[in-house]
Amino acid sequence: RKEVEQDPGPFNVPEGATVAFNCTYSNSASQSFFWYRQDCRKEPKLLMSVYSSGNEDGRFTAQLNRASQYISLLIRDSKLSDSATYLCVVRRPGYNKLIFGAGTRLAVHP
């Protein structure tokens, strides 16, 4: 079983739609959680950290469920520029190492 699992998609949605991505992780002792965004042939960029109480940044909302070892990302009012691969990332306990999911591809169309 992979340490971090995501639905690869692609999710094809129209502009203005709301879309949600899910991610599960296997190590219950994982300490920190993030969503990164990766554009084609580019390095990943931090989108947002995920906190236990849930957090929001503009159109983006992240949730963490430690009991189910599950992380989610909700994007409201999708824009064309949101088209990218969204990577669920988990920090291993006791280390600075980040473990990446394979990513979920989002394609927003007019």
Partner 1 sequence: GAVVSQHPSWVICKSGTSVKIECRSLDFQATTMFWYRQFPKQSLMLMATSNEGSKATYEQGVEKDKFLINHASLTLSTLTVTSAHPEDSSFYICSARDRDLDNSPLHFGNGTRLTVT
**Nearest CA-CA partner of 17 in 83, 65, 102:** 83
Residues 34-73 that bind partner 1 (CB under 8 A): 34, 41-46, 49
Q: Tell which one of 13, 17, 74, 98 touches partner 1 (CB under 8 A).
A: 98
Binding residue count for partner 1, defined by CB under 8 A: 20
In terms of DSSP bridges, do strands 11-14 and 104-109 run parallel, antiparallel, or are they unpaired? parallel
Residue nearer to partner 1 on the CB measure, 43 or 81: 43
Instruction: Find where tokens 């998609």 sit.
Output: 9
Find out whether 6 and 33 touch, Cβ atoms under 8 Å: no
According to the binding rule CB under 8 A, does residue 1 interact with partner 1? no
3-state secondary structure at position 55: strand
> Site residues (CB under 8 A) for partner 1?
4, 8, 34, 41-46, 49, 87, 95-103
